[in-house]
Structure 1
Amino acid sequence: MKLLRRGERRPETDPGEVALHARNVRFDWADTPLHWMPSEPIASHVINALNLLLPEGERMFCAAYSEALPYVKDDTLREAMRGFIGQESMHAETHDKVLREVLAANGIDPARYVRQAEFLFRKTLGPTDAEGAAKQQQMVERLAVIACLEHFFAYLGDWVLNADLEKFDADPRVADLFRWHGAEEVEHRHVAHDVAVYFGAGYMRRAAVMTLVFPIFLTLVLRGAKFMVREDTALPNLGYPRLLTRVFGAMRRGALPGVPSLLRSALSTFEPGYHPESVGSTAQAVAYLAASPAARAVAP
């Protein structure tokens, strides 16, 4: 993750904010292996766990932004939000196909975990029957949660764009899936923060939400990895202590982002004046999106 110091200028090659739009992509998932990094099956499943969470999470993002849009009078922010909704909708649709065409095709039934994700994002974090000021405040809370999650997705996007997954013989289609998605997360990394601030989610509120969101996000990913390992007949059913040992080993080898960088990423949001512009490079993200095989497959 590339953090800019306060007052430090972005590299001249970085174009800054760009007009956001959803990109059509096409993936051929035929014969995609479950262990898409053959020498790193546990790391494969930790990243596979995102496929279990992302469709419902990103649908919640789109629903919350659709609810918030009528209250936004800033035309620039409205356009950014529309682009964000388009990109997140495409992410949800694409990862949903992975559940059916990769996981299910390899004997993994994701339904039980997906039901938990549905409960979390539709019930716990979804709209309620509240009215008036209470309804508005609940919407702002969801926008603050989205801002925190989007920080981590931008961080993970920057990581996967720079990680040498090829040294683990990563399947190029899965690597492209997460790099395409990650590049768009870097590209629109400022939107969720700007929306939360626009709706009055100040420093203290965002800090309090991040304190909750960080451990919950990591727990959900670990639970997803545990689910994948348990359902994978090619692996022993590891308990959490042994699973964590394997995860830490994958981190040391570079197949997963490491704990120190995860902590630095979370703590960076507590710095006064934090803005997600400091995470990643728009120039790198846009360059990858122009070269992504899945995006080029449907390019005019």
Structure 2
Amino acid sequence: MHSQSLSRTPQNVEIVPRNRQFNIDETLATNWHGGDAFKTAFFDAMSILFPLGEQFFIDSVKAFRGKFDDPELERRVRGFMAQEAVHRREHQRYNEALCRARGVPLEKMERAVNRRQKLARKLLTPKQQLSGTVAFEHLTAILADATFRNPEGLEGAHPEMAALWRWHALEETEHKAVAFDVFVAVGGKTWRRRLSMALVTLEFTQHVIRNMRLLLRDYEGSRIELWRGGFKFLFGEKGALRGLKQPYLDFYKKDFHPWDHDNRELVSSVMSDFGGAEVNPI
């Protein structure tokens, strides 16, 4: 048991599980991001990963409950699990509606992730699984930060879809250090999280590209122009993912903590948009 928390999470960071539901079924039959096939497919491809991913994250953190002596961290773990459970539910609804509309079996879309997860659960120790979650949570945290820092990424999107992604980004920001703090509290090593990040980055990129190719299989325009325009959207002068290099690399620092990237002020302006109904912490 660890009697002292090593967390550098600010004390005033609250993890608020919001029981939001989004009316998006009909919208998913369209290129909802300004009529742009690439932009729409990019976000849809990420959504496909989340239900299985969120459950894996919950399970890997849950495995260490009761193995650290830190009541405040335990409270944050409950909030983390409750938020992720709602994310899982809403992205499951999202994905089912998307696949019905696009005529792609959801099982086919999830097949690669499902296979990787089964191997991970079978072959990796609980601490190794937690390390993978820590890495994935950092990726989602910096993507969430980009959602607010680079609002052009959702310009032109259907309002309900933009709201869903901003809600998800807000909650990913609130709980971005929970898995990391648990990992540190149970003796996780720096080298392990560094290795996990390298592997997870490759895996995440592969899954997103694979899903995009499946979703764009019937695209009738120029594939070269599609991907060229998509690269500009993501990494151009006003790209949705511009500015992520340093926040990503910071993870590899020995003394890194997720709240070294203190973006509370950045996201505070959207918190009032997503107040209201909460779910009970798990």
Shorter-chain TM-score range? 0.7 to 0.9
1:184 aligns with 2:180: no
Gaps of 5+ in 1: 1-14, 131-136
Return the alpha-carbon distance in structure 1 between the equivalents of residues 230 and 120 of structure 2.
Answer: 29
Distance change >3 Å, CA 124–CA 282, structure 1 → 2: farther
**TM-score, length-normalised on structure 1?**
0.80
AA at the equivalent of 1:245: R
The alpha carbon displacement at 1:111 in A equals: 2.2
- Deviations along 1:235-288, one digit per CA (max 9) or x if unpaired, are 4594xx776534312222645314xx3332321112232111033522443542
* Residues 1:237 and 1:140: Cα distance change in structure 2 (over 3 Å): farther
> Which of 223, 240, 256 is equivalent to 1:256?
240
Larger mean Cα displacement after TM superposition, 90-99 or 155-164 = 155-164
1:113·1:224 contact (CA, 8 Å) conserved in 2?
yes
* Aligned CA-pair RMSD: 2.8
Write the distance in 2 (CA, Å) between the matches of 1:164 and 1:282: 16
Change beyond 3 A, Cα 1:88–1:237 = farther
**CA distance in 2 between partners of 1:167 and 1:21 (Å):** 23
Q: Are the equivalent residues in 1 in contact too, given 2:16–2:83 (CA < 8 A)? A: yes
1:270 to 252, 255, 260: 252
Matches within 5 A, 1:16-165: 17-33=12-28, 34-121=30-117, 123-126=118-121, 128=122, 138-165=125-152
Q: Is it true that 1:291 corresponds to 2:273 in the alignment?
A: yes
User: In 2, Cα distance between the equivalents of 1:125 and 1:237?
Assistant: 38
What is the match of residue 133 of structure 1? none
What's the TM-score, normalizing by structure 2?
0.84
SS of 1:82 mapped into structure 2? helix
Deviation of 1:148 after TM superposition, in Å, equals 0.8
> How many aligned positions are there?
270
- Gap change, CA 1:255 and 1:55, over 3 Å in 2: farther
Judged with a 3 Å threshold, the aligned counterparts in structure 2 of structure 1 residues 23 and 167 are, in CA distance, closer, same or farther, namely closer
Percent identity of the aligned residues?
Answer: 24
Q: Do the aligned partners of 1:229 and 1:237 also contact (CA within 8 Å) in 2?
A: no
1:183-209 Cα deviation digits (max 9, x unpaired):
111111111111111122222222122
Question: What one-letter code is carried by the residue in structure 2 that aligns with 1:138?
Answer: T
Contact 1:207–1:270 (CA under 8 A) maintained in structure 2: yes
Q: 1:38 to 1:225 in 2, by over 3 A?
A: same
Query: Is residue 268–residue 274 contact of structure 1 (8 Å, CA) maintained in 2?
Result: yes
Structure 1 residue 147 displacement after superposition: 0.8
Structure 2 unpaired stretches of 5+: 1-9
Change (3 A) 1:71 1:166: closer
With over 3 angstroms needed to count, the CA separation of the structure-2 counterparts of 1:283 and 1:168, relative to structure 1, is closer
Aligned AA for 2:260? S
